[in-house]
A = this chain, B = another copy of it.
């Protein structure tokens, strides 16, 4: 099985956000994800990178621009 794990990425740090992700859909300024087990999450941010071989989705929040 090739499900992916989603992590919140900040600098060098990666915190697990959702395991066993099957569906990933960027929408409405965020990222909808659904796991193998039917768990659904909506992340307010964007996909930074997906590393398929490492089975990682790296997510980052959308920061307001510096004013």
Cβ-closest chain B residue relative to A58: B25
Is B49 touching A24 in the complex (CB atoms < 8 A)? yes
Cβ-closest chain B residue relative to A50: B24
Rounded to whole Å, the gap between the CB of A39 and the closest CB of chain B is 14
Chain A contacts to B: CB under 8 angstroms: 1-4, 21-26, 36, 46-53, 55
Given the known inter-chain contacts A2-B2, A2-B55, please indicate yes or no for A49 contacting B22, CB distance below 8 A.
no
Is A23 touching B3 in the complex (CB atoms < 8 A)? no
Other than the given A24-B50, A25-B49, 10 more pairs (CB < 8 A) read A2-B53, A2-B55, A3-B52, A3-B53, A4-B52, A22-B53, A23-B49, A24-B52, A26-B26, A26-B46
